[in-house]
């Protein structure tokens, strides 16, 4: 039996400016983990194993990228019951990101708008953290490009990231869908996409040889494109033998938050208002891919039923960010329990 302490923690955290709350919340989780309190507070993680991308996941509910950009907190985060955690986005060189404020809560919609802009301490710092962290779970590392690297040279940044994180990751996510790095989303289309994917696959083959281990590559996409573009993207992933697609990143749309405080802040919108669009993207991809590669679904999961919908839309795994901020660790356990009944009946 566990007591849900999150409503209390949230009542304190939500009184603070969003980015300060972010750091305090993560520090509290880390402290709980260091003191071996996590199992007492959060209960035992749900055991509902699934195999995706050749990896055995203890349960299909993951932490989405961007909450732990530098890998400072992921062991403590994982202890909330996640079946996997994705750290990053990390860039080759450290960069400060956009000026603050750059993170906004829209509590009336269980939503967040952010324009962080890949604030991170650089890939070498992240790797040092991973080397020093005792962790048995599944770890994804999400890579991006520095804001001042011209988009024409983006491939070079992704190759640096891939080379450095490869020996430390269970899977690597290529983020070409953040709305807060100018030009980044252009990499999702046409020749730029094909060149990037080809270069990454060549490097992955080399690295698999060098390290004697194949580390799968996932590509994370935006929700803001039409069905034709989505299917073209899916075809490119199949042709290039990409190992998984993560759908989706935040949206530029403001549907569902019109007129609310902060709704007109620049950046990507996440949380509940994103859910329907993200579900739709997952179903278009899944129908088109027919299992050729797995879909990892993110966007607006705020209840166990929302997570179930993602699986019904065709996803193999799910990821949560905003829902975790609004509902806390209980949401992770609820989702994992709900999905465990489905995946066991489906198997
Ligand atoms: C504050 C914030 C920062 C984020 N940073 C990243 C990031 O660095 N890299 C990335 O791939 N996605 C990032 N995301 C997107 C999330 O990983 C996720 O794809 C998106 O928020 C949709 O899921 P959600 O509705 O559960 O939040 C970020 C989201 C938020 C709210």
Q: What is the pLDDT of residue 2?
A: 80
> Looking at residues 208-212, what average pLDDT do you find?
98
Residue nearest to atom 5 of ligand 1 (CA): 66
Q: Give 115 Cα–ligand 1 centroid separation in angstroms.
A: 10
- CB of 324 closer than 6 angstroms to any ligand 1 atom: no
Which of these ranges, 34-43, 68-77, 249-258, has the smallest mean pLDDT? 34-43
> Looking at residues 233-251, what average pLDDT do you find?
98
Q: Give 345 Cα–ligand 1 centroid separation in angstroms.
A: 31
DSSP state of 183: T
Provide the 10 A C-beta neighbour count for residue 119.
19
| 177-194 residue pLDDT tens | 999 999 999 999 999 999
Give catalytic residues, as residue numbers.
Answer: 178
> Looking at residues 315-334, what average pLDDT do you find?
98
Q: What is the pLDDT of residue 346?
A: 44
How far apart are the C-alpha atoms of 274 and 254, rounded to whole Å? 9
Which atom of ligand 1 is least distant from the CA of 175? 11
> Would you say residue 152 has pLDDT above 90?
yes
Q: What are the contacts of 282-288 at 24+ separation with CB within 8 A?
A: 282/247, 282/248, 282/310, 282/313, 282/314, 282/315, 283/313, 283/314, 284/227, 284/230, 284/231, 285/230, 285/234, 285/245, 285/247, 285/314, 286/313, 286/314, 286/315, 287/314, 288/230, 288/231, 288/234, 288/235
Q: Give 147 Cα–ligand 1 centroid separation in angstroms.
A: 17
Write down the H helix ranges in 120-265: 123-132, 154-165, 190-211, 227-239
How far apart are the C-alpha atoms of 342 and 48, rounded to whole Å? 10
How far apart are the C-alpha atoms of 176 and 165, rounded to whole Å? 17
Residues 6+ apart with CB under 8 A from 202: none
Integer angstrom CA distances of residue 306 from 61, 219, 235, 290? 12, 22, 27, 22
Q: Give 271 Cα–ligand 1 centroid separation in angstroms.
A: 9
Indicate the pTM of the whole model. 0.98
- CB of 106 closer than 6 angstroms to any ligand 1 atom: no
Residues in the chain: 347
Q: How far is CA 163 from the centre of its chain?
A: 20
> Looking at residues 104-128, what average pLDDT do you find?
98
Provide the 10 A C-beta neighbour count for residue 175.
28
Which atom of ligand 1 is least distant from the CA of 302? 26
Angle at 105 between CA 100 and CA 108, to 5 degrees: 160
| 56-69 residue pLDDT tens | 999 999 999 999 99
Q: Which of 223, 318, 321 to mutate to test the pocket of ligand 1 (most atoms within 8 A of CB)?
A: 321
Q: What is the pLDDT of residue 345?
A: 46
Q: What is the pLDDT of residue 343?
A: 62
> Would you say residue 27 has pLDDT above 70?
yes
Residue nearest to atom 28 of ligand 1 (CA): 66
- CB of 297 closer than 6 angstroms to any ligand 1 atom: no
Angle at 224 between CA 221 and CA 230, to 5 degrees: 60
DSSP state of 265: S
How far apart are the C-alpha atoms of 176 and 191, rounded to whole Å? 14
Residue nearest to atom 22 of ligand 1 (CA): 299
């Amino acid at each position: 039996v566990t007591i849900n302490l999150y409503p209390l923690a949230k009542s304190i955290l939500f009184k603070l400016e969003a980015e300060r709350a972010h750091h305090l919340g993560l520090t509290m989780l880390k402290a709980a983990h260091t003191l071996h309190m996590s199992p007492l507070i959060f209960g035992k993680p749900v055991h509902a194993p699934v195999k995706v991308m050749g990896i055995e996941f203890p349960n299909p509910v993951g932490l989405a990228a961007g909450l732990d950009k530098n890998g400072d907190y992921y062991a403590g985060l994982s202890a909330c019951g996640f079946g996997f955690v994705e750290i990053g986005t990390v860039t080759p060189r450290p960069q400060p990101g956009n000026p603050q404020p750059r993170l906004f809560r829209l509590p009336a919609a269980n939503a967040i708008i952010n324009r962080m802009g890949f604030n991170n301490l650089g890939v070498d710092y992240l790797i040092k953290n991973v080397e020093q962290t005792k962790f048995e779970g599944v770890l994804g590392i999400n890579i991006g490009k520095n804001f001042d690297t011209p988009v024409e040279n983006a491939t070079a940044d992704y190759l640096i990231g891939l080379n450095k994180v490869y020996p430390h990751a269970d899977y690597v996510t290529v983020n070409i869908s953040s709305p807060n790095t100018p030009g980044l989303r252009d990499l999702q289309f046409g020749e730029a996409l094909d060149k990037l994917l080809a270069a990454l696959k060549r490097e992955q083959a080399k690295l698999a040889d060098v390290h004697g281990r194949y580390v799968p590559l996932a590509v994370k996409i935006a929700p803001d494109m039409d069905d034709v573009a989505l299917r073209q993207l899916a075809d490119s992933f199949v042709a290039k033998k990409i190992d998984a697609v993560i759908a989706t990143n935040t949206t530029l749309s403001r549907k569902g938050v019109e007129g609310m405080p902060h709704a007109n802040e620049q950046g990507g919108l996440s949380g509940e208002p994103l859910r329907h669009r993200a579900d739709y993207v997952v179903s278009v991809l899944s129908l088109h891919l027919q299992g050729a590669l797995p879909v990892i679904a993110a966007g607006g999961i705020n209840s166990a039923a929302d997570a179930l919908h993602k699986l019904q839309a065709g996803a193999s795994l799910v990821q949560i960010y905003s829902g975790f901020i609004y509902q806390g660790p209980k949401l992770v356990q609820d989702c994992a329990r709900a999905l465990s009944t489905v995946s066991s009946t489906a198997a």
